[in-house]
Amino acid sequence: MFCTMTWLIFLLLLSTPSIFSFVIGGDDSDPVSNNIAYLHQLLSEEKNLRSSLETKIQQMEQRLEQRMEKIETNMSTLQKESSRDPTVAFHAYLNKEVGSVQSAHVIFDTVLLNIGNAYSPLHGIFRAPYNGTYLFSMTAVIPSLNMLYFFLKKNDITEEFVFADHMHTNDYTQASKTTVLALNVNDYVWVEASGYIVGSGGDDGHGHIHMRSSFSGFFIKEM
């Protein structure tokens, strides 16, 4: 009877491979073992993915920090530029009779306007405080039977000139010229003259002088 039961159990184990494998120690086709291996693979992939994402996040944070620093620098520069006042303008005239000259540096000694203090009445020189475009105007006044040249100089180079010629008697005349120059910081502009120079002449009948040898200019736009 005992032998018969033993044989029945052995035949049952043979007919059920999964049970038999479990009893004798299992094999590679065990679905539980396969699932555990698959879970390990998923965990490994998740770990690699997490590491890759952390690296990318760090890189993004670094780029964002660099951009923020650049924005702050640009904002600081804009604030400095907006806080300064680029207004520059001057107007000066000659308040005395000079007489006959040849290639003389004209010093317009009486200043009516000098915003930014770029014009020096002691030297008759305008010095550019900014890189940019500037407008300049010069007016030459002469008495009768005389002539006069005004030359607008930029760093000793003639950029423009005006010529006044008056062959009538008992009267004054004037001639003007306006031009635009591109200047760099510390470029200087001044007026040279050849001919007969007077500071002013003529009036409106009430003693108000309305003709003056003058030099003026203003800043247009920064470059």
pLDDT digits (tens, 9 = 90+) for 31-70: 667 777 777 777 788 888 888 888 888 889 888 888 888 8
Q: Which two tokens stand for residue 105?
A: 């540096």
The pLDDT score that the predictor gives to residue 21 is 45
The pLDDT score that the predictor gives to residue 114 is 97
Residue 162 near residue 117, CB atoms below 8 Å: no
The pLDDT score that the predictor gives to residue 201 is 61
Q: How confident is the model at residue 22 (pLDDT cuts 50, 70, 90)?
A: very low
- Of the two residues 204 and 122, the one the predictor is more confident about is 122
pLDDT of 155 strictly over 90 = yes
Q: How confident is the model at residue 23 (pLDDT cuts 50, 70, 90)?
A: very low
The pLDDT score that the predictor gives to residue 75 is 83
DSSP string computed for the chain: -HHHHHHHHHHHHHH-HHHHHHHHT--TT-HHHHHHHHHHHHHHHHHHHHHHHHHHHHHHHHHHHHHHHHHHHHHHHHHHHHHS----EEEEE--S--EEEEEEEE---EEEEEETS-EETTTTEEE-SSSEEEEEEEEEEEETTEEEEEEEEETTEEEEEEEEEE-SSS-EEEEEEEEEEEE-TT-EEEEEEEEEE-SB--B-SSS-B--B-EEEEEEEEE-
pLDDT of 92 strictly over 90 = yes
Cα–chain-centroid distance for residue 96? 43
The reported pTM is 0.62
* pLDDT tens per residue, range 159-200: 999 998 877 666 788 899 999 999 999 999 999 999 998 876
* pLDDT tens per residue, range 108-141: 999 999 999 999 999 999 999 999 999 999 999 8
